[in-house]
Amino acid sequence: MDLPLVVQRLSDGENLRRLRLEALADAPSAFLGHFDEESVRPREAWQQAVVREVWFAARLGPVPVGLASVVLDPGTQGRYVESMWVRRANRGQGIVEALLTAIEEYVVGGGGSELRLWVLSGNDTATRAYRRYGFRPTGLKQPIPGRRGVFEEEFAIAIPSRPGDAVHSRGEHPGGRDRR
């Protein structure tokens, strides 16, 4: 029996802390953050993060399997997907798509018409997943300070990318392997 894939907005700092630290331990080269630094953040800081920022978690049944956030760039008013992660054992199961769809619905509900994101050089798995979803390179690249030879590339997509997707009022988004 397949467990249902559900994406929900996080409201609990402890859940964010647990998932973010798991992501940093699982895929340290995919993020600018570091496990050692974030693991010593006070618990209050994690709770403030779920109040101040918009985070989504994906779960298969009761098991959390993915995490992503969306932030508003105050300078450009652009909405950026950040901190996308899917548990290694659950990659290739439609979780990235479900998280992006939930983020997209959130942004469209707030009047947004585009999503952007940055991908670190060498993260070919993420690049392929974002391209499959419909993101395209903008042509912008920037170096990562303190990491010689490492850069990130910007991607964007006009939203809603899938006309007809409904915005779910309770912050829950059912996903699944069969969503296209």
pLDDT digit string, tens, across residues 158-177: 999 876 544 433 334 444 32
Q: What residue type is assigned to position 37 of the chain?
A: E
Spatial separation of the C-alpha atoms in residues 46 and 16, rounded to whole Å: 7
| Listed residue (71, 28, 66) closest to 49, CA to CA | 71
Task: List strand residue ranges (DSSP E) for 33-102, in order.
Answer: 54-60, 63-72, 79-86
Instruction: Tell me what the pLDDT averaged over the chain comes to.
Output: 83
- Whole-angstrom distance, CA of residue 68 vs CA of residue 137: 20
Residue range 24-70, pLDDT digits in tens: 787 666 666 666 676 678 888 878 888 888 999 999 988 899 999 99
pTM: 0.82
Count, in order, helices (H) and strands (E) of the chain. Answer: 5, 8
CA angle 165, 91, 63 (to 5 degrees): 80
Domains defined along the chain, listed by start: 5-166+171-175 (3.40.630.30)
Whole-number pLDDT of residue 178:
29
